[in-house]
Structure 1
C-alpha cells in the first residue's frame, strides 16, 4: 500500500463499512439499495467502492474501459453519470467488481425513479 499508516486490514475494514453503508445485504444475499438515502448514479458507487482500488493497482481509465468492454468515451460518460447501467453493463460491472448485477440495476432504477 502506498498509504503509510494504513494496513491491509484497516483498508478492508473501511471498505466493508462503506459497503454496509451504501448497500444492505439481505439474508438471501440479494443486495438492496436502501430507500430514504440520496439516490446516486451507479457510477458514484463504482467510484466509492472500487475506483480507488483500481487506481492503486495502476489502472487508468483506458484500462478500466477495456475491462468493462466499453469505448473510452462511453466509460467516461458512465463516470460522469451521462449513461445508465444496462443489463449488459451490469453484468460486466459484476465481473469487474464482484458486486451482483442486481445491485447495479437496482441502483440505476432507483436513480432513474428519483429523477421523475
Structure 2
C-alpha cells in the first residue's frame, strides 16, 4: 500500500483500504509489494507499514522521496524481516543477508483479555 520503493504507493489501496484500517485502529499492514525492506509510520494514526520484499531482486538506489519522520527504514538490498508476537508485545527486526540487524522496532499494548 505504502512504499518509497520502485513501485511506490498503491493508489487504490490508499484511497479505499487505508481509511478502513485507520477507522478500525489496525496496528500493522505487512506486505512484500516492493523488492526492499521498509518500515513506514503513518502520520495520521498508529498504523505501521512493514515491507519484507528483499528476498530476491533488489533495486539498488531506486527510492522515492519520503518524509523522514515517517520512513523509519528503507533498504533495497536483499534481506528479511522477523517478528516475535505475544499477546501484549511485538518485536520486528529487519536483517541483511549476512544476518546483521538493519532496524529493530518494538511496540506494546495493554492486555485487555487477562483477568
TM-score for both structures, normalised by structure 1:
0.29
Structure with greater proportional strand content: 2
TM-score for both structures, normalised by structure 2:
0.29
Structure with greater proportional helix content: 1
